[in-house]
Amino acid sequence: MPMVRSKTDGDAGGMARSAAPPRAPGRVLRRVGWTTIALCAGSALLLALGFLWFIWRLPADEVALDRSADGIVVLTGGASRIADAIELLAAGHGRRLLISGANRSTNTGEISRLNPEFERVVRCCVDFDRSLNTLGNAIETRRWAERRGFRSLIVVTSSYHMPRAMAEIGHQLPDVALIPHPVLSDRMRAEPWWASGTTMKLMLSEYLKYMFAYIRIRLNPQAGASATG
């Protein structure tokens, strides 16, 4: 005798079939979650590898310059940067020196007082600007170099700051030859960067600033010339 399905059985089967699809959004969410995790992990790996590349590029020792340039620019921030730049000027490696980012108390008289042996060259051949950051340094350097007609510059700054300084100044002055002269602090000489939490934090911060500057320049390569024209 054939079995007769009741309406209730049919309704129950239909409800069971209609209840299955809600599992699909769960699979999609899981897939999105794993994709997000993979992207975050990949980004973190790229940042870590980029940081190691950044550290590897930093000069480990100061080198004696065997070249000269039209001018010298020093970006303030480290204790020995200005002294090293004045020595280069006095040695005839450039015709004039720009101290970029100087605070208001830094002037010819103060520099001469701190470096009395170089008073003559300081009073004749040193200029100042009051820019507040590395981009400002680069913009003021561009104005100074164009005003003086300089086609080559020696750039003096701390070793860890040199990649960003060269990127920013090179962006502003693409047709000017730049010669880096990195300065190593006493701490950098005494111990490796990973031995101090303060130094490690400084290096990581500088790397992130460099990457931000690099991306900004790549996205708008003509910004330097148009922004200051």
> How does pLDDT run across 186-195, given as a tens digit for each residue?
666 656 667 6
Report the range out of 6-20, 35-49, 92-106 with the highest average pLDDT: 92-106
Contact (CB, 8 A) for 98 and 127: yes
Largest Cα–Cα separation, the chain: 121
Non-local (6+) Cβ contacts of 93 within 8 A are 65, 67, 68, 69, 72, 154
Say if CB 188 and CB 199 are below 8 A apart.
Answer: yes
pLDDT tens for 63-121 read 778 889 999 999 987 668 898 999 999 999 999 999 999 888 788 888 888 888 888 99
Contact in structure between 138 and 126 (CB atoms under 8 Å): no
- Those residues whose C-beta lies under 8 Å from the C-beta of residue 140, and which sit 6 or more positions away, are 98, 100, 129, 131
Q: How many CA atoms lie within 13 A of 148 on its CB side?
A: 24
| Torsion over CA: 51, 57, 61, 66 (sign) | negative
Contact 73, 155 (CB under 8 A): yes
Which strand (E) or helix (H) includes residue 157?
strand 152-158
Whole-number pLDDT of residue 226? 47
Residues in the chain: 229
User: Among 160, 155, 169, 152, which residue's Cα sits nearest to residue 213?
Assistant: 169
What is the pLDDT averaged over residues 24-40?
72
Q: How far apart are CA 132 and CA 76, in angstroms?
A: 10
Q: How confident is the model at residue 24 (pLDDT cuts 50, 70, 90)?
A: low
Query: What was the pLDDT predicted at 125?
Result: 93
**Mean pLDDT on 215-226:** 75
What's the chain's average pLDDT?
A: 81
More confident residue, 226 or 184: 184
Domains plus CATH for the chain?
71-228 (3.40.50)
pLDDT at 9 > cutoff 60: no
